[in-house]
Chain A
Amino acid sequence: MSNTTIVVMGDHAEFAPPPRERPSLRVGHVSLVGITLFTFAFLYVPIIVLIIFSFNSARTGAVWQGFTLSWYQRLLNNEALLSAAGRSLIIGLLSTAGSVIIGTMTALAMEREHFRGKTIWDGLLYMPVIIPEIVSGVSLLLFFAAGGIERGLFTLVVSHIAFSMPFVYLTVRARLADFDRSIEEAAQDLGADEARTFWLITLPLLMPGIVSGALLAFTLSIDDFIISFFVTGKGWNTLPIYIWSQLKQGVTPEINAISAILLLFSVSIIVMSLLLQRRQH
């Protein structure tokens, strides 16, 4: 048995000698690694520099003078910054709640109801994802001005819902696409009415999709500058708007420190969202 195998392998080797390595392949490999490294450097070096300089004791940007945490300490004593952060948090939580409710309900309706022009409605729901933010900002501003609506918390929350809701819609819709309807039928068969079926079965099963959509929506809201800039009102500067206003005095290490914190915050939320989506499968 083993003899036969050896003979077969020997034959094979005789007829098909291993191809010699072509020199161009080596060059290709080296340049591929180079380009990859360059891409990552391009993406992340500026951010790493920003984080490093947030620990720099020098007042002005470009020279390293030693390690300090004093910029972070100063942030904690900066009333204006803390209240801007607080406002961002309130807007983020309210708009996320709104996006989750509307987005989930829309996803359920679009997945399960049959009506005319469904594809078009579906497309319209994706649109806010690709509409340039500056266009959204200007149009929302015009809309609120025309409607005589005073700019402030309300306009900010409504606008944030408008741009973050599609992301909740998309993640919940994806979750619904492989939802086995017979599970809901089983619940009804076992005596659960429509409401109990929804709360005990449908909602828990959609939860990973809803939560990851919510985390996305929250991150988008906290980070948003352009649209918020247009629709904000007196006393409702968000954190990104506050950072932008501070830039008039040049990039200070303090700004570096806030940016670093904001970055850490966003990255951890996105990682959580990705982990949740992975756990679905």
Chain B
Amino acid sequence: MANDFAVELRDVVKLYGEVAAVDHVTMSIRQNEFFSLLGPSGCGKTTSLRMIAGFERPTSGIVAIDNKIMGATPPFRRDVNTVFQSYALFPHLTVEQNVAFGLQMKGVSKTEIKRRTQEALELVRLPQLAARYPKQMSGGQQQRVALARALVNRPRVLLLDEPLGALDLKLRKEMQIELKTLQSQVGITFIYVTHDQEEALTMSDRIAVMSHGKALQVGTPLEIYERPNCRFVADFIGETNFLDGTVTEVRGDFAYLTLPSGEVFSGRASEGVRAGTQATLSVRPEKMQLLENASTATANTYQVHVFSIAYVGSDTRVIINLGSQRIDVWEQNSSSTLNPDDYFFKSGESAWLTFKPENALVLAS
């Protein structure tokens, strides 16, 4: 294997009884990458992480770390370290002893342990709490100790299992930035498990979206958001509108979709979309506009009924009806008017909906 991947999963399956927790997953994680496994609970992301750490063995398939096939290699012989969701700090040891544990196991000299432990605690900005016991610290502090305890070993790969899950929102946001900064500082590959799509988008170089044991799409945050490859990914990441219909024509990169009510919409054709098949058009609320007047000659432009309007500060969230179809449109509030009458669209009246074909996707059903 000449590829320089930090971690590779090749056709990995993990069965619990009859149930496949991980179902033929293949992915390659690059060196020094911040890679997220994203999906709802039970999608197999934590099981995948545990197979990399060595706590679980795949039923079939290959896990390789640093181009070495792991097989039955136990966790204590893998050059990876884990930050657990529950932190899993040793309650009978002080913070300093917790952080020093990994180095002691490796047989590093006492002076070296002292120095590196101090360094690691400074990295997470907790050197003053070295003598404390985990019980005497807040959740956020424990989280940082867990991080220091893993990073002090300078592993090739750091595995993080929803490390911010137990923190409140404000602390979460702070730690997200801190983690990302830390990762670029230490230059270690991070594999990060989360169910929070915003967290994944903010922090990751690349994301694998998982559902029911399968890795549905692997890509950069931009690719995942702008070019989801299936309905689940489009739905799970951000907000979107789905319009179901039949593909009447595929021309170049674009597909034309006819709704049961007769309207025709066009968007970028994704893989597997063919004329005559059922498909779904996905278009995000912020990628559409409402107009006072428009010509029906323009693509993807129809007169609609404004159902409700909600002002949320940065934008105005409008729900419109196209026939029986409900569509969400977010209009950015680029002016700072105080007069509601300045908005041309009003609840109960009609308006024109329009969006560019390149801003919508036609996904195979």
Contact = CB atoms under 8 A, between A and B. Distances in A.
Interface in B53-86: 53-55, 74-76, 80-82, 84-86
Interface stretch (B101-109, B173-181, B290-298, B317-325): B101-109
B74 A193 contact: yes
B5 interface: no
B266 interface: no
A182 interface: yes
Contact of A187 (B54, B90, B153): B90
Contacts of A192: 76, 101, 105
Chain B contact-residue range equals 20 to 34
A189 B75 contact: yes
Nearest to A197: B76
B92 interface: yes
Given A182-B84, A196-B105, A189 B90 contact: no
Interface in B37-54: 53-54
A183 B149 CA distance: 13
A188 B81 CA distance: 10
A189 B157 CA distance: 12
B347 to A, nearest CB: 39
Nearest to B79: A191
Contact of B86 (A180, A191, A205): A180
B165 interface: no
Contacts of B75: 185, 188-189
A274 interface: no
Interface residues of A, number: 16
A183 B54 CA distance: 15
Interface string B82-96: 101110111110000
A201 interface: yes
Contacts of B88: 180, 182-183, 185-186
A215 B339 CA distance: 79
B135 to A, nearest CB: 11
A186 B105 CA distance: 12
A225 B105 CA distance: 49
Contacts of B53: 185, 189
Contacts of A196: 105
Interface string A184-209: 01111111110010000100110000
Contacts of B74: 188, 193
Interface in B146-174: 149-150, 153
B150 to A, nearest CB: 8
Nearest to B55: A185
Contacts of A205: 91-92
B54 to A, nearest CB: 8
A188 B73 CA distance: 12
Contacts of B76: 188-193
Contacts of B80: 189
B22 to A, nearest CB: 18
Nearest to B85: A182
A204 B105 CA distance: 17
A191 B106 CA distance: 7
Among A191, A192, A204, the one with the most B-chain Cβ atoms within 10 Å of its Cβ is A191
16 contacts: A182-B84, A185-B53, A186-B82, A186-B84, A187-B101, A188-B74, A188-B75, A189-B55, A190-B101, A190-B105, A190-B150, A191-B76, A192-B76, A193-B76, A204-B92, A205-B92
Interface of B: 53-55, 74-76, 80-82, 84-86, 88-92, 101-102, 105-106, 149-150, 153
Given A180-B88, A190-B102, A190-B150, 13 more contacts: A182-B84, A183-B89, A185-B75, A185-B88, A186-B88, A186-B90, A188-B55, A188-B75, A189-B75, A189-B80, A189-B82, A190-B76, A205-B91
